[in-house]
Structure 1
C-alpha cells in the first residue's frame, strides 16, 4: 500500500488550495498532515472515506456470515489468523479461537457505532496477552498464586 503524501499542518493553514491539491497526486487519496504540538492528521476526500468504510463493512459482513453459516469457516479463519497476526502463535489454541471470535464480533458491533476504537482495543489486548505468554517469567508471575502481604502502608510524607 502506498504511503500517503505528507505536508505540514501549517501548509494547510497558509496554502490551503495547494496543500489540498496534493490529495489528487496520491494514489491512496490521503494526505498526512504533520503537527508539532499534537497528533498528526490524515486528510482525505469524503468519497474515499465512504469507500473505505464500505470495504470494511463488506469484509466484516462476509466474515460474520461465514462464521455463522459454517463451523469450517471459523476453523479456517483460526488456521490463517497467524498470517495476519503472527503473535497469536504464543497463545494457547483455545485463546486463538477466543481472539478470532471476539475480533469478528467486535468488528460487527463497531459498525453500529461507526467507531473502530473497540477493534483496535481487542487487538491490542490480545497482543499483550500473547506477550505475557511469550515471556516465561512474566507468564509465571501472572499465573502463580501470590502471597498477600496485607494492606499497603502510607508512603512517607515529604513535607
Structure 2
C-alpha cells in the first residue's frame, strides 16, 4: 500500500505520517523538488535482500543453461527489450549474460545504474546492427583519420 502526503503535512503532523509509513510507503510531494519516498528501514532491507536473492538465482540459472536454452532466454527478454531481435545470435546470448551480471551487481550495490548502463550499451549495439550500412562501415578496418566523432545517441 502506498499513500501520498504533502510536505506541509509531514511538517505539521510527523507522527501521523510516521503511522502511515508503518502501513506502507509514503510519497511526500514537494512544490520545490522531486517527491520523496518515506519507507521503513526493515521494509527497504527486505526489498534489497529479495532483489539480491533474485539476481543471484537468475545469474546462477542462466549460467547453467545450455546455449540453445540461453537463446530462448534471450527471446524472452525480447518481450521487454524488442531491439534484442536485431542482435546476432551470439550477441543475444552475451546480452543475457551481461544482463544477469549487471542485475546481480546492481542488486548487491543497491544502485541500478550498472543495469541501466548495460541496457543502454546493448541498445546502442542493436541500433548499429539494425542499420546494415552502419554495421558494415564499422566492421571495416580503420586506416586513416575519419574526422570528428558525433555525440552518442541520446535516450
Tell me by how many angstroms 1:81 deviates: 0.8
CA distance in 1, matches of 2:39, 2:81: 28
Partner of 1:154: none
CA distance in 2, matches of 1:140, 1:11: 58
Tell me by how many angstroms 1:141 deviates: 5.9
Is the CA contact (8 Å cut-off) linking 2:86 and 2:126 kept in structure 1? yes
Matched, 1:23 2:18: no
Matched, 1:11 2:9: yes
Aligned length, in residue pairs: 142
CA RMSD of aligned residues (A): 3.2
TM-score by length of 1: 0.67
Alignment of 1:32-111 (within 5 A): 32-71=27-66, 73-111=69-107
5+ long unaligned stretches in structure 2: 139-144, 149-155
5+ long unaligned stretches in structure 1: 151-159
TM-score by length of 2: 0.68
**What is the CA deviation profile of residues 57-108 of structure 1, one whole-angstrom value per residue up to 9, with x for unaligned ones?**
1111111111222325533321211123334334443333222211111222
